Amino acid sequence: MVLRPLSATDAEAYQVLRLRSLQEHPEAFALALEDEQETALETVARRLEHSSTERYILGAFEGETLIGILSFRRWEGLKIRHRASVSSMYVPPESRGRGVGRALLEEAIDRARAITGVEDLILAVTGGNEQARALYLKVGFTPMAIDPRYIKVGARYL
């Protein structure tokens, strides 16, 4: 398995996996499938081209196949630059159980530690996603808050 930040040349593979994640697990992501489907491939490529050590999409590859994704972003603003967040992690079912998610998280954590001034790494997980929650706890994240209305899917809050 190879881990690396995605570039513009990965736009199509990323978009396919991202849309799949939103379709299969709408309860797990703040972004709606309907919103992301409107994003042109050229826009996705531009976003990936502008990645940096403080903002990137990390990809896990098996050969040429993208088998996992994770977003990393250092918060902007003088008072909050000590924080960064991990989001939008997805590993498709056929690649789960092989350490892909853990490898993505550990790589993001290592990269965050290398950024001067980053003190906190934050992520969110929706209630009921016990497999993801267990992984986050294993790599060292600690629960700090519950937001009972974080995501709204239809009439249901998660």
Q: Give me 120's structure tokens.
A: 């906190």
CATH assignment of 2-150, given 3.40.1260.10, 3.40.50.300, 3.10.310.10, 3.40.630.30? 3.40.630.30
Q: Give me 56's structure tokens.
A: 């990137």
Query: Which SS3 state, helix, strand or coil, does residue 131 take?
Result: helix
The rounded distance, in Å, linking the Cα atoms of 29 and 65 is 23
Residue 150's pLDDT is what? 85
Per-residue pLDDT of the chain (158 residues; tens, 9 = 90+): 999 999 999 999 999 999 999 999 988 898 889 989 999 999 999 999 999 999 999 999 999 999 999 999 999 999 999 999 999 999 999 999 999 999 999 999 999 999 999 999 999 988 888 889 999 999 999 998 888 888 888 898 88
Residue 2's pLDDT is what? 97
Sign of CA dihedral 125, 127, 131, 134: positive
Global pTM reads 0.91
- Across the chain, how many H-helices and E-strands are there? 5, 7
